[in-house]
């Protein structure tokens, strides 16, 4: 009686116990799952953080001081290097400027010499001198005198008829058939001279000067001052056979 009466109650207890046990089991499993999930998360985060963070954060103070000293010394060395390189750069830039200035000066000298030698066309203020000698009275020396006078008055470029006058220019021939550097001239002779127009004019027309001499010989010399005269005749560069630059 008591046994049969007890049986269902005992079974109910067992079932309740089993349910409670299963509930506990589920809860524990869930808790374990959460904890291990947190662990996995933490591992991943730590691995990620460690791969990102620099290695310095894990070093001891002594090591850090040593590293800092090393870095300071290195920075000092690099600063010195920068200073010396800067100095070198300044020197090079300075020498570059000097070389440029020297080249500029050489270029200017070249241009001046080219004009004076007559190897390039020249333009500038000057005079146009016209010498009319219809009767052929003038000697070659008279024309040379005109050139000399112009030179003396500071003419920088002179063109005599078709010929650019230079240091080697020669007037040859006889009255009425004068040649300049081998080129035949015919009256009227036209001379272009670049220089201070007033000075050139005055030098030619000075009393007892070239103009006077030419007039007494029966020819006529007129000077016309111009703000711009261009000498287009050119000379070849004279080649030196014996003389060489002495350094």
Partner 1 sequence: MIAALALAAGIVLGFVLRPTVPTWLEPYLPIAVVAALDAVFGGVRARLDGIFDSKVFVVSFISNVLVAALIVFLGDKLGVGSQLSTAVVVVLGIRIFGNAAAIRRHLFRA
Q: Would you tell me which residues interact with partner 1 (CB under 8 A)?
A: 25, 28-29, 31-46, 48-50, 60
Using CA atoms, how far apart are residues 58 and 61, in angstroms rounded to an integer?
Answer: 10
Q: Coil, strand, or helix at residue 116?
A: helix
As to burial, measured by CB atoms within 10 angstroms (0-12 exposed, 13-18 middle, 19+ buried), residue 125 is: middle
Pick between residue 50 and residue 98 the one whose CB is nearest to partner 1.
50
- DSSP assignment string, 119-140: SS-EEEEEEEEEEE-TT----H
State in angstroms the smallest separation of the CB of 72 from partner 1.
Answer: 25
Pick between residue 49 and residue 246 the one whose CB is nearest to partner 1.
49
State in angstroms the smallest separation of the CB of 56 from partner 1.
Answer: 14
Pick between residue 17 and residue 41 the one whose CB is nearest to partner 1.
41
> Could you tell me which residues are beta bridge partners of residue 223?
129
What tokens were used for 64? 């850090």
Pick between residue 31 and residue 170 the one whose CB is nearest to partner 1.
31
- Whether omega before 243 lies within 30 degrees of 0, making that bond cis, reads no
State in angstroms the smallest separation of the CB of 68 from partner 1.
Answer: 18
State in angstroms the smallest separation of the CB of 60 from partner 1.
Answer: 7
State in angstroms the smallest separation of the CB of 71 from partner 1.
Answer: 22
Pick between residue 33 and residue 154 the one whose CB is nearest to partner 1.
33
Roughly how many angstroms between the first and final C-alpha of the chain, as a whole number?
147
Q: CA 98 → CA 90, 91, 102, distances in Å?
A: 12, 11, 6
CB atoms within 10 A of CB 73: 10
State in angstroms the smallest separation of the CB of 55 from partner 1.
Answer: 14
Pick between residue 41 and residue 98 the one whose CB is nearest to partner 1.
41
């Amino acid at each position: 009686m008591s046994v049969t009466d007890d049986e269902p109650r005992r079974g109910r207890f067992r079932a309740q116990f089993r349910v409670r046990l299963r509930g506990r089991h589920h809860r524990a499993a869930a808790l374990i799952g959460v904890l291990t999930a947190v662990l996995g998360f933490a591992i991943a985060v730590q691995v990620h953080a460690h791969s990102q963070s620099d290695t310095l954060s894990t070093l001891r103070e002594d090591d850090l001081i040593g590293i800092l000293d090393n870095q300071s010394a290195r920075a000092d060395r690099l600063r010195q290097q920068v200073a010396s390189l800067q100095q070198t750069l300044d020197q090079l830039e300075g020498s570059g400027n000097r070389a440029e200035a020297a080249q500029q000066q050489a270029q200017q000298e070249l241009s001046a010499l080219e004009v004076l030698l007559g190897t390039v066309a020249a333009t500038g203020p000057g005079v146009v001198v016209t010498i009319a000698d219809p009767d052929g009275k003038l000697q070659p020396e008279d024309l040379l005198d005109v050139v000399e006078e112009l030179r003396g008055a500071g003419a920088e470029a002179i063109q005599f008829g078709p010929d650019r006058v230079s240091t080697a220019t020669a007037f040859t021939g006889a009255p009425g058939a004068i040649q300049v550097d081998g080129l035949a001239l015919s009256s009227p002779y036209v001379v272009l001279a670049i220089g201070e127009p007033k000075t050139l004019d005055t030098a030619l027309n000075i009393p007892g000067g070239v103009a006077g001499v030419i007039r007494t010989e029966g020819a006529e010399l007129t000077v016309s001052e111009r703000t711009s005269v261009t000498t287009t005749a050119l000379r070849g560069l004279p080649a030196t056979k014996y003389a060489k630059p002495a350094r």
